[in-house]
Structure 1
Amino acid sequence: MADSELKPTLHHLNNSQSQRILWLLEELDIPYNLSLHKRGESGPNKARAPPELKETHPLGKAPQLETADGRVVVESLVIARYLIETYDKSGKFRGDSAANDWIRDDELCNLASATISAPMTLELVFNLLVQSSPFFIRPLVSVIHKQVYKAFTGPELDLYFQYLNDQLGDQDYFMGTSPGRADFIISWPVDMCVQNQFVDLEKYPKLAVWSRRCQDRPAWKRSMEKGNGYSLQFKL
């Protein structure tokens, strides 16, 4: 059996949430294969995932992890759990105390992946609507967007970001002295909201320090070098 077949393979898409899985792989410091894919740069598939991702999984999304035994795993929460349970032999990324247990990990992961996604996605859709509207109705769409942000998406995002800020407490990471699955999963919605200016991260000082601490880690820097872009400001 070829050596490459014994390693997991990450199918990584630029400017996407698979960046957090690439970061996790670098933190685990294990041999792995990296298959880079790029979003469409023009035409009807601009900014969309390329068709070849459907060759490995029918949904055609990223991240996709091909395990060493050939199984294709999708969904970041599941991939992160699989990688940590399979390769984190020392337990470094599983929480460092009774308080930082699997229940806390699951709660924070689901908050990041499901709860925050609703207002975040709505903000993204409105941003794209404003960009794509004909110039003569763009001011009206922009006014509607501002009202939705003021009445709903802004307060919701503030609620969740303040909660995350408070959950850090005096810890360096959500799962203690080292990042855990929750830290990897939370990183993407935080980056998405910050890069698109849905939130002002400096309003949440502990969360702002946490974000900088994550991005100062050598593994994060290596993942940025090995990936192919992480700009989350989608433009039509």
Structure 2
Amino acid sequence: METSSEQTTIPTLHHLSSSQSNRVLWALEELAEGNGLKYGLKAYPREHGVAPKELKSISPLGKSPILTVEPVDQSGHNSLAAEKEVVTESRIILQFISDNYSNGIWVPESPEDKKRDAFFQEFANSTLQPKVTYPLIFELIPVQLPFGLRQLVQLMVKPVVNHWLQDLGPIYQVLEDALSEEKPWFAGAKLGLADFCMNWGMDIATHRKYFDAAKYPKLGKWYMTVVERPAYKATLQKGGSYDLLTFDS
């Protein structure tokens, strides 16, 4: 595990606008602010709502986030001669960053919180994220259609969207019940990987008005605590567009 004073590799995030790469950039910003981590950022704007083909030159699927890792040369810069390590998939990238650059600050201190952190990492990616993605997809499909047909399709998909939105209530309740003064984070007593994982789904839910903070005040407070953090604000400034309504289409 590296500290800023002995950093032997430089991670570079290949970041797509308006994407879940935002939570990875947030994690890097937290470490840059708190630990002095040096990292690179290459931001790619969406082209008519989709990722540019350039990303496929880095990873075959061309999906962001992608983290490339290079050794530091004697001058403290990326070594151009060295082969890059490529890390993909958001949760794997976040774990890699924690393992290699966080100096353990995101590792829960108690066995109970370690179990909690692992559970909510999985919950964020396997339960919350799909459930906010389904209504999003059904809402985006009509937008791509001609005006007259768009209205007809919107009427057709509205019951389906409402069905998915109703499914979110029990999920929010699980998250609400997990938070307390003693454990204000999904990782437990302190910020951890579960919170970075949870952020993407909650960003979608909040931006698209799938989430009513008045009904789930503890979850709403958690979300506001996240977005008010200086590192999160810096993420929005550095990452380019973060439009979860149109996805830059």
TM-score range, shorter chain: 0.7 to 0.9
CA distance in 2: counterparts of 1:139 and 1:9, whole angstroms: 43
Aligned-residue Cα RMSD (Å) equals 2.0
Alpha-carbon contact 2:23-2:199 (below 8 Å) kept:
yes
Q: Percent sequence identity over matched residues?
A: 36
Alpha-carbon contact 2:124-2:197 (below 8 Å) kept:
yes
Post-superposition shift, 1:47? 0.6
Alpha-carbon contact 1:96-1:175 (below 8 Å) kept:
no
Post-superposition shift, 1:49? 0.5
Post-superposition shift, 1:208? 0.7
In the other structure, the counterpart of 2:58 is: 56
CA distance in 2: counterparts of 1:155 and 1:144, whole angstroms: 17
In structure 1, list runs of 5 or more residues that go unmatched.
41-45
Determine helix, strand or coil for the equivalent of 1:59.
Answer: coil
Q: 1:144 aligned to 2:144?
A: no
Q: 1:167 aligned to 2:178?
A: yes
Post-superposition shift, 1:117? 3.1
In the other structure, the counterpart of 1:230 is: 242
In the other structure, the counterpart of 1:93 is: 106
Q: What is the TM-score of this pair, normalised by structure 2?
A: 0.83
- Deviations 1:43-65, CA, capped at 9 Å, x for gaps: xxx11001111111001011100
Written as runs of structure 1 = structure 2, the 5 A alignment for 1:43-192 is: 46-69=48-71, 70-89=84-103, 91-101=104-114, 103-150=115-162, 152-170=163-181, 171-192=183-204
- Deviations 1:163-220, CA, capped at 9 Å, x for gaps: 1111123322111343100100100110111111223233211111111111111211
Alpha-carbon contact 1:130-1:138 (below 8 Å) kept:
yes
One-letter code of the match for 1:75? Answer: E
One-letter code of the match for 1:205? Answer: P
Determine helix, strand or coil for the equivalent of 2:61.
Answer: coil
Post-superposition shift, 1:119? 2.7
Change over 3 Å in CA distance of 1:48–1:138 after alignment to 2 = closer
CA distance in 2: counterparts of 1:144 and 1:201, whole angstroms: 28
CA distance in 2: counterparts of 1:61 and 1:199, whole angstroms: 27
- Of the candidates 41, 46, 70, which is equivalent to residue 39 of structure 1? 46
Post-superposition shift, 1:9? 0.7
Post-superposition shift, 1:5? 8.6
Post-superposition shift, 1:128? 1.4
CA distance in 2: counterparts of 1:137 and 1:222, whole angstroms: 40
In the other structure, the counterpart of 2:29 is: 26
In the other structure, the counterpart of 1:198 is: 210
One-letter code of the match for 2:69? Answer: T
- Of the candidates 7, 15, 27, which is equivalent to residue 10 of structure 2? 7
Larger CA deviation: 10-19 vs 164-173: 164-173
Alpha-carbon contact 1:123-1:198 (below 8 Å) kept:
no
Change over 3 Å in CA distance of 1:138–1:227 after alignment to 2 = closer
Q: What is the TM-score of this pair, normalised by structure 1?
A: 0.87
Determine helix, strand or coil for the equivalent of 2:67.
Answer: strand
TM superposition outliers: structure 1 runs of 4+ over 6 Å:
none
Aligned pair count reads 225
Alpha-carbon contact 1:8-1:32 (below 8 Å) kept:
yes
CA distance in 2: counterparts of 1:68 and 1:165, whole angstroms: 40
Change over 3 Å in CA distance of 1:144–1:188 after alignment to 2 = same
Post-superposition shift, 1:137? 4.3
